[in-house]
Amino acid sequence: MFWQVTFWILVALIVLPFPFKVFEYVSGKDKSPRIVKVEEVANALFMALCLVAFYGFIAGKAYLTPAFWQGWLFIAIVWSLLPIFWSPKLVYAAEVMGKNKMRLVAGVSCILYLPLLFAVYFYAF
């Protein structure tokens, strides 16, 4: 039950807002710098891909190869650690909401994505 609930929460966090975010980009309502938009879209697409593995883990179905998901997991871990050193999105978020709130939001996001990474790990190995 935990895995199913977590899966649907992550679908709601990753997939549902994406069309609205793209609309804000296209319409000019989002005033963030272009590099922040690129980072957001790349993160959303990359994480949406892993929802396939997460679903496969829950349903017991094989999608792509274990080697593919092992590679994805390696990249995801590196990608998750990269903002410690460089992230235009986090720099922009700190400017907009302050450093403490940005750190809190980033910490909560990391905790929310941990089950996803574990599910992909269990699925790939």
Triad 2, 62, 125: Cα angle to 5°: 70
Task: Supply the pLDDT for residue 100.
Answer: 85
Closest residue by Cα to residue 117 from 61, 65, 47, 41: 47
Would you say residue 71 has pLDDT above 80? yes
Would you say residue 53 has pLDDT above 80? yes
Q: Which residue has the higher pLDDT, 89 or 3?
A: 3
Question: Cα(89)–Cα(96) distance, rounded to whole angstroms?
Answer: 10
Task: Supply the pLDDT for residue 80.
Answer: 83
Task: Supply the pLDDT for residue 82.
Answer: 80
Would you say residue 6 has pLDDT above 90? yes
Question: Cα(93)–Cα(35) distance, rounded to whole angstroms?
Answer: 13
Mean pLDDT of the chain: 88
